[in-house]
Structure 1
């Protein structure tokens, strides 16, 4: 391992591990790398998290963050394969919109919703960039395990605020940053990475490469405040039930997912 390599304990929350190479953040390179990852092996390598689940052991049934969405206009950032949009469509949302970096994911979403008898307006674009979405339009913008892929968190939150009506709600989930610092060794939790390290890195998984940064919770909170949001609720708890897997044991000791509900002022 050279001086630019570090051991990453977790990549996106389900315990993926590997050697990561520290990299300089180049927005165009990151977009190209990550869109190729999701166009090819992303779902096979990382799977897909979708509503009603916000992440491991955290669900909308438990949290009730959305409430009644019937008649509401919803936009999903990082729509993946379309299951979360299906969930909202079946709950009688009046309009479904989705955005994703990957053309392949957009097509998967389109096919999945069509098979479910639903439709959505879908846009392939990085979440950081202007893409023609209407402003002051949506009742809800949400993102399930996708926000962390942005190269510009403050810019992304600012754009999301512009899409929402006044008093509109933004809900998102992502892998908890403390989860990415800790591994289990012989039933003991051990820190392997500094919580404060937000450097960008690339890691190869199953012959595919992705590029990420692990941000602190305060980075998300401060970016929300700067974009004009007020946080109404934050979820860190895990409901592991009777599961006794190594991952569940870890989740009983520290959060693996966080969810934030914020409102546009």
Structure 2
């Protein structure tokens, strides 16, 4: 399947499904069973910084950035409904807000060497072209700027609960586009190894500052282990990984 077909399919599914994700997995949270920003302090001081959110969704992470004192709030998202929702969520911000509807693989005319911080919370794994997306982000950042993103750990959907136990039912090492079970096989996501994300960052010019895949489990472990995100599975493999990188 060509990248243009995948983008078209995924946009259509997001327009239908966006509402059930409004406000979910947004800063200070990085993802399921992960440490949060209040614990990690990866961004440091946000006050006075120009920030760009890749896959900004409903705008709640940008809202967090605004509360923390960001000077300018920019967001990029493929989905019209997400952009419209983000515009409503951010309408009371006292700083400049710019929201752009575009695939992350394309540069829709965002300024070069402009942003102090670019980040993406549980969105970047949707890209059909990882290297081009990282190259775009590198271009958007000022020298010395930081890029932080989180995504579902690539081991997570390789493991499935079947017949009272967890088994690996997909290859970790085979990469490429595949229908995503979590979306009832109605959306396509590229499976990539963790090393692929790291090496693509390096190839785009980034310096890797930190890779985090610690698991933070709740005290209660009573839910159905066959759920997409379950504490039982998180006891075996991380659900989320986070990478912090910087522009040289």
Provide TM-score, normalisation by structure 1: 0.85
1:45, distance to aligned residue in structure 2 (A) = 7.3
Q: Which runs of 5+ in 2 are unaligned?
A: none
In structure 1, the residue matched to 2:29 is: 53
In structure 1, the residue matched to 2:154 is: 177
Is 2:139 the counterpart of 1:156?
Answer: no
Q: Is the 8 A contact 1:75 1:98 kept in 2?
A: yes
In structure 2, the residue matched to 1:78 is: 55
In structure 2, the residue matched to 1:252 is: 235
1:219, distance to aligned residue in structure 2 (A) = 0.8
String of CA shifts for 1:64-83, please: whole Å, max 9, x gaps: 11111000010000000010
User: Helix, strand or coil for the counterpart of 2:30?
Assistant: strand
In structure 1, the residue matched to 2:217 is: 240
1:137, distance to aligned residue in structure 2 (A) = 0.6
Farther off after superposition, 222-231 or 189-198: 189-198
String of CA shifts for 1:122-169, please: whole Å, max 9, x gaps: 000011112110100101000001111111100100010000011110
Structure with higher strand content: 1
User: Helix, strand or coil for the counterpart of 2:91?
Assistant: helix
Distance in 2 (CA, whole Å) between partners of 1:231 and 1:187 is 39
Q: Is the 8 A contact 1:48 1:80 kept in 2?
A: no
Task: Give the direction of change, closer, same or farther, for the CA distance of 1:49–1:222 in structure 2 (3 Å limit).
Answer: same
In structure 1, the residue matched to 2:4 is: 28
Provide TM-score, normalisation by structure 2: 0.91
User: Helix, strand or coil for the counterpart of 1:209?
Assistant: coil
Q: Is the 8 A contact 1:86 1:118 kept in 2?
A: no
In structure 2, the residue matched to 1:129 is: 106
Distance in 2 (CA, whole Å) between partners of 1:105 and 1:125 is 11
- 2:201 aligned to which of 209, 216, 224: 224
Counting matched residue pairs gives 241
In structure 1, the residue matched to 2:97 is: 120
User: Helix, strand or coil for the counterpart of 1:41?
Assistant: helix
Q: Is the 8 A contact 1:153 1:223 kept in 2?
A: yes
String of CA shifts for 1:156-188, please: whole Å, max 9, x gaps: 000100000111100000000011111234663
Task: Give the direction of change, closer, same or farther, for the CA distance of 1:27–1:107 in structure 2 (3 Å limit).
Answer: same
RMSD: 2.1
1:41, distance to aligned residue in structure 2 (A) = 1.4
Task: Give the direction of change, closer, same or farther, for the CA distance of 1:73–1:47 in structure 2 (3 Å limit).
Answer: closer
Distance in 2 (CA, whole Å) between partners of 1:204 and 1:253 is 19
Q: Which runs of 5+ in 1 are unaligned?
A: 1-23
Q: Is the 8 A contact 1:45 1:205 kept in 2?
A: no
